[in-house]
Structure 1
Amino acid sequence: MKIEILGSGCAKCSRLYDNTVEAVKKAGVQADVVKVDDLSEIVGRGVLMTPSLFIDEEERVSGRVPTVNEIVGILGGA
């Protein structure tokens, strides 16, 4: 599983990254979690609001920071 956090590096983006790493551990799934801060790539994917959470190339959350438990739920359905 590939999980990407798209954003400019703001505090919300960092919090989403931290929540995602914690959720991956809590869910017990194998995943690569990476930050994407290249503006041209973010725009190229059609992201209108950051931070944005992508799982296996699909945008799952945009413009807000979900809780760890919410991310665990998303990972369970991924």
Structure 2
Amino acid sequence: MIIKVLGPGCIKCKTLKKLVKEVLKEKKIEAEIIEVKDFAEILKYPIIFTPSLIINEEIKIQGKIPSKKELIKIIEEA
């Protein structure tokens, strides 16, 4: 599983990345986390808002930080 957190590196982006790490550790899920801060790279995805969460090249979240419960469901269903 490859998880990308897209955003300029703002506090919300860092919070989302931290939450993803917590969920992966808690659920013992192996995944590569990639933080995408480069604007040109972010523009390759059809997103409007950041932070955005991409799992295996599929947009799962944009413009918000999900609850931990919501994020667990998203990751487990990916």
TM-score, length of structure 1 as denominator length? 0.94
1:57 aligns with 2:54: no
Q: What code does the residue aligned with 2:39 have?
A: L
Count how many residue pairs are aligned between Structure 1 and Structure 2.
Answer: 78
**Shift of residue 52 of structure 1?**
0.1
Determine what percentage of the aligned residue pairs are the same residue: 36
Deviation readout 1:3-54 (Å, 9 max, x if unpaired): 0000000010000000000011112111011100010111121221000000
Q: State how 1:1-78 maps to structure 2 within 5 Å.
A: 1-78=1-78
TM-score, length of structure 2 as denominator length? 0.94
Contact residue 27 and residue 75 of structure 1 kept, 8 A: no
What SS is found at the alignment partner of 2:43? helix
Unaligned runs of 5+ in 1: none
Q: What code does the residue aligned with 1:16 have?
A: L
Contact residue 23 and residue 69 of structure 1 kept, 8 A: no
Unaligned runs of 5+ in 2: none
Please tell me the root mean square deviation across aligned C-alpha atoms, in Å.
0.9
